Amino acid sequence: MAPMKFRISSEYGVLEEIRDGRTHNGIDLAMPRGTELHSIAAGTVERVVDYGDERLGKGLFIRTEDGDVHIYGHLDRIAVTSGERIDTGALIGFSGNSGHSTGPHLHFALMHDGQYADPSPLVGALQHYSGEITGPSFLAIKGPATWFAEKAVDHAQSHVVSGMKAHVLDFLHDAAGIIVDLSYGVGLLTCAVLIILGALGLRDGYRWSGLTFGIYALIRLVLGGITR
């Protein structure tokens, strides 16, 4: 199990004097003011609030794709807006000491089916996506490593696209050559048959042979540029 970057200063469901006898509906992680916070799940920013010196102070409500609501409180600054669609790992704000708080920390709560639920199973994700992010999920954060990774992916994609384009052009070139050669053979044979039939008395045989030759010439004109 990865070591905890931030101490849990208050657990879910505890009774503490600061809350006037109410049980804690979330968990608190003690962290320096200005610590980067990144969303632990993809979803939509449902609300951005600022209660001043009361309650959560500056806070966020994010509705995740599975319908749960993640609540972040006591923030110093908020980096997203209401209605914004965000991905896992997206920067959403910075921890602080706003609202009814006795020191810099992050208050995190979970609402499931409209009721507060124990967010303890999400502590690992909160630890990972708060502050410096390392490990397999580094690509979720935009930084120098991500920039180089994205450039590498773009470079690889451009090579794949170029290779596919070359294969398609080669195929079209070969197919056009086959069609031109086939039309030449069929056209020549058809013209010969029609001329013979015309000589034997077939009405319009010569005219049809001329039309056949014209069709062949048109095919060669249209496809000739591809076969060069």
- pLDDT, tens digit only, all 228 positions of the chain: 556 789 998 888 887 666 566 788 999 999 999 999 999 999 999 999 999 999 899 999 999 999 999 999 999 999 999 999 999 999 999 999 999 888 999 999 999 999 999 999 999 999 999 998 765 544 444 444 444 545 554 555 555 555 666 666 677 767 767 776 776 667 667 767 767 776 777 666 666 667 766 776 776 676 665 555
Confirm whether 26 is domain-assigned.
yes
Separation between Cα atoms, residue 113 and residue 68, nearest integer Å: 7
**Within this chain, do residues 48 and 115 fall inside the same structural domain, yes or no?**
yes
Looking at the DSSP assignment, which residues form a beta bridge with residue 10?
28
Separation between Cα atoms, residue 218 and residue 52, nearest integer Å: 79
Please give the tally of structural domains in the chain. Answer: 2
**Within this chain, do residues 26 and 120 fall inside the same structural domain, yes or no?**
yes
Residue 167's pLDDT is 67
Report the residue count for the chain: 228
**Within this chain, do residues 81 and 178 fall inside the same structural domain, yes or no?**
no
**Within this chain, do residues 100 and 161 fall inside the same structural domain, yes or no?**
no
Count how many Cα atoms sit within 13 Å of the Cα of residue 9 in the half-sphere of its side chain. Answer: 14
**Within this chain, do residues 156 and 120 fall inside the same structural domain, yes or no?**
no
Separation between Cα atoms, residue 172 and residue 162, nearest integer Å: 15
**Within this chain, do residues 35 and 66 fall inside the same structural domain, yes or no?**
yes
Task: Pick the last residue of a domain from 116, 140, 164.
Answer: 140
State if pTM tops 0.85: no
CATH number of the domain encompassing residue 93: 2.70.70.10
Phi then psi for residue 79, to 5 deg, are -105, 5
DSSP, res 78 = E
**Within this chain, do residues 46 and 103 fall inside the same structural domain, yes or no?**
yes
**Within this chain, do residues 66 and 177 fall inside the same structural domain, yes or no?**
no
**Within this chain, do residues 158 and 217 fall inside the same structural domain, yes or no?**
yes
Count how many Cα atoms sit within 13 Å of the Cα of residue 33 in the half-sphere of its side chain. Answer: 11
Largest CA distance in the chain: 115
Confirm whether 88 is domain-assigned.
yes
Confirm whether 63 is domain-assigned.
yes
Residue 141's pLDDT is 44
Phi then psi for residue 211, to 5 deg, are -65, -40
Residue 164's pLDDT is 65
Task: Pick the last residue of a domain from 140, 167, 182.
Answer: 140
Task: Pick the last residue of a domain from 78, 112, 140.
Answer: 140
**Within this chain, do residues 177 and 94 fall inside the same structural domain, yes or no?**
no
Count how many Cα atoms sit within 13 Å of the Cα of residue 122 in the half-sphere of its side chain. Answer: 24
Parent domain of 154 = 150-227
**Within this chain, do residues 120 and 19 fall inside the same structural domain, yes or no?**
yes
